[in-house]
């Protein structure tokens, strides 16, 4: 009891710091994603999206993968976009492919990887970043079961598709206004409540297992294992741009080259807020396919990298030689003002709390009935 009274406030403060830091990082991307989803929901007809991504064709998975690779969005920010696609008619396969490709193959991250990890590791990272979403998309379509298509999208698919049977569209600005309202009143409320819970759980783990212990573990090549780095990557909230310098220093200190590939693949696209959101808003089958395949492929590509490069591998990181690419990445990377980060973090927190209040009220009404 005395220990708790003495150190409890310290752990509580650390928990709040970790939670707030993750919300500040993901908040701007989440808010912009809700806005973008609302506009897409208003502009794109559901039947158009269903024709493009609402099927089991390989071309649909390729479209989703390539589209995701071109967007510089973090793993939490891509969740609303992916859910918007899924609810609008995209099958589970293209949805998961987009969900994986967007945070893994960020254009700025690829350039930074070439600069700080060298062409060999960066090329394997780039190839794996295309192969993994494509394969996960195929598996998602094959094993999706009842989660292959959202119930709402299935209902739209069964509706009349003849042009003369379609209702007339309202004016564009009215549709956009309605789409943005859907993005924040529906999608954001559903997503943010699970983002907040996942963020709190991740912050609790980081509080119980201090960052200093994690960094000491990762920085000791003798203790390094691909499985360990995979598990730690799933726990930590990772942004590829922020952690590539850390991975480069780790490899320069003597860690095996496969560690870099495994950590980037397994950690950039997996974090607790994201996994909780997928589980609750799509289903257990989807999150099992998503997380299981990412971990499996992260380990596989790590072992392949070690097999190809471990013998005689020498780190190529040279800050002076790489400074030009690093400066270029800094120019093309999006860095939000601190005030905007704070505003978005508070907004996500408020929307998440509002979502849980609505859920609590619905539960009370069901019990009363």
CA distances from 46 to 32, 156, 157, 159, 161 (A): 21, 7, 9, 11, 11
Q: What is the pLDDT of residues 259-280, one digit of tens each?
A: 878 888 877 667 777 788 888 8
Q: What is the pLDDT of residues 110-134, one digit of tens each?
A: 777 777 788 888 888 888 888 999 9
Return the pLDDT at 86: 87
CA distances from 215 to 89, 268, 329 (A): 43, 17, 25
CA angle in degrees (0–180, nearest 5) for 362-363-365:
65
Return the pLDDT at 222: 46
**What is the value of pTM for the model shown?**
0.73
Q: What stretches in the chain show pLDDT beneath 50?
A: 219, 221-223, 318-320, 322, 325-326, 328-329, 332
Return the pLDDT at 362: 81
Domain boundaries, the chain: 29-156+171-355
Chain centroid, CA 104 distance in Å:
8
């Amino acid at each position: 009891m005395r220990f708790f009274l003495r150190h409890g406030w310290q752990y509580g403060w650390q928990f709040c710091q970790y939670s707030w830091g993750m919300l500040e990082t993901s908040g701007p991307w989440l808010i912009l994603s809700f806005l973008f989803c609302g506009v897409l929901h208003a502009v794109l007809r559901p039947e158009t999206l269903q024709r493009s991504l609402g099927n089991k064709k390989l071309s649909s998975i390729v479209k989703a993968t390539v589209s995701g690779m071109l967007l510089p969005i973090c793993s939490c920010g891509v969740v609303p976009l992916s859910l918007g696609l899924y609810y609008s008619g995209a099958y589970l396969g293209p949805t998961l492919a987009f969900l994986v490709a967007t945070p893994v193959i960020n254009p700025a991250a690829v350039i930074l990887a070439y600069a700080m990890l060298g062409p060999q590791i960066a090329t394997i990272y780039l190839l794996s970043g295309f192969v993994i979403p494509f394969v996960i998309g195929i598996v998602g379509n094959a094993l999706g079961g009842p989660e292959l298509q959202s119930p709402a999208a299935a209902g739209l698919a069964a509706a009349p598709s003849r042009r003369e049977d379609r209702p007339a569209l309202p004016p564009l600005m009215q549709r956009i206004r309605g789409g943005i309202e859907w993005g924040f009143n529906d999608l954001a409320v559903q997503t943010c409540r699970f983002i907040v819970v996942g963020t709190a759980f991740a912050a609790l783990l980081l509080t119980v297992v201090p960052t200093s212990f994690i960094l000491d573990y990762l920085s000791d090549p003798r203790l390094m294992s691909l499985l360990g780095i995979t598990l730690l990557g799933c726990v930590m909230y990772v942004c590829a741009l922020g952690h590539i310098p850390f991975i480069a220093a780790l490899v320069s200190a003597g860690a095996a080259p496969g560690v870099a590939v495994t950590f980037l693949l397994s950690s950039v696209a997996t974090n607790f807020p994201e996994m909780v959101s997928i589980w609750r808003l799509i289903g257990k089958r989807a999150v099992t396919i998503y997380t299981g395949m990412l971990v499996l492929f992260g380990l596989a590509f790590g072992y392949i990298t070690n097999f190809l490069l471990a013998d005689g591998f020498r780190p190529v990181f040279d800050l002076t030689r790489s400074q030009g690419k690093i400066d270029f990445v800094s120019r093309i990377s999006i860095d939000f003002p601190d005030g905007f980060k704070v505003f978005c973090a508070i907004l996500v927190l408020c929307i998440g709390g509002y979502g849980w209040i609505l859920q609590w009220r619905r539960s009370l009404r069901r019990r009363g009935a």
